[in-house]
């Protein structure tokens, strides 16, 4: 596959996490009793579309306190839903479709469980019940292969 010189093409993604405190309704018997939160870490299209046309898999590396800390997600939604008690850095490795010949990219996300950064006096129940930390980023493809260019521009 040929590479297209002097061409740069980018596509937006969002990544990050949502978290909510566990309650008697959401806690399940299989969860360790010291777990306090339910959370989801994800990579998504900002407009809600399916990213699998360009992303082959996303590998999420959780804290070593988790069983099977390396979670390889090979189909959308590219996300991991877990419970836990602590915040930590999650490694996120994005792998592109093979036709792209693109190297995988690594990003890090600090899992946020607590609603800090808001004036405690203004903290509402809604703020305490739903925490999120979401980043916007652009995947930049320099001199993409002709196949990748076609994949990216045909939608």
Q: Which residues bind ligand SLL (CB under 6 A)?
A: 32, 63, 65-66, 84-88
Minimum distance of ligand SLL from residue 76's CB (angstroms): 25
Comparison of 88 and 95: residue with beta carbon closer to ligand SLL: 88
Minimum distance of ligand SLL from residue 79's CB (angstroms): 17
CB contact burial 21-32 (16+ within 10 A = b; e otherwise): ebeeeeeeeeee
Minimum distance of ligand SLL from residue 91's CB (angstroms): 14
Please state, in angstroms and rounded to a whole number, the distance separating the CA atoms of residues 1 and 99. Answer: 8
Comparison of 46 and 86: residue with beta carbon closer to ligand SLL: 86
Comparison of 53 and 66: residue with beta carbon closer to ligand SLL: 66
Number of separate helices (H) and strands (E) present in the chain? 2, 8
Please state, in angstroms and rounded to a whole number, the distance separating the CA atoms of residues 99 and 18. Answer: 32
Look up residue 112 and give its two tokens: 């946020």
Look up residue 136 and give its two tokens: 């916007």
Minimum distance of ligand SLL from residue 41's CB (angstroms): 12
Comparison of 63 and 71: residue with beta carbon closer to ligand SLL: 63
Taking alpha carbons only, the member of 89, 87, 101 closest to residue 39 is 87
Terminal alpha carbon distance of the chain: 20
Comparison of 36 and 52: residue with beta carbon closer to ligand SLL: 36
Residue 145 is classified by DSSP as: B
Minimum distance of ligand SLL from residue 89's CB (angstroms): 9
């Amino acid at each position: 596959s040929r590479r297209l010189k002097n061409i740069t093409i980018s596509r937006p993604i969002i990544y990050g996490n949502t978290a909510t405190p566990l309650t008697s309704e959401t806690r399940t018997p299989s969860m360790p009793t010291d777990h306090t939160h339910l959370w989801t870490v994800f990579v998504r299209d900002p407009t809600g579309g399916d990213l699998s046309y360009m992303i082959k898999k996303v590998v999420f590396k959780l804290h070593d306190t988790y069983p099977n800390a390396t979670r390889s997600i090979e189909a959308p939604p590219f996300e991991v839903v877990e419970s836990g008690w602590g915040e930590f850095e999650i490694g996120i490795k994005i792998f592109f479709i093979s036709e792209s010949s693109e190297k995988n990219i690594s990003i890090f996300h600090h899992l946020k469980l607590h609603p800090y950064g808001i004036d405690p006096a203004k903290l509402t129940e809604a703020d305490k019940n739903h925490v999120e930390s979401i980043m916007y980023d652009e995947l930049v493809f320099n001199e993409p292969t002709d196949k990748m260019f076609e994949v990216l521009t045909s939608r």
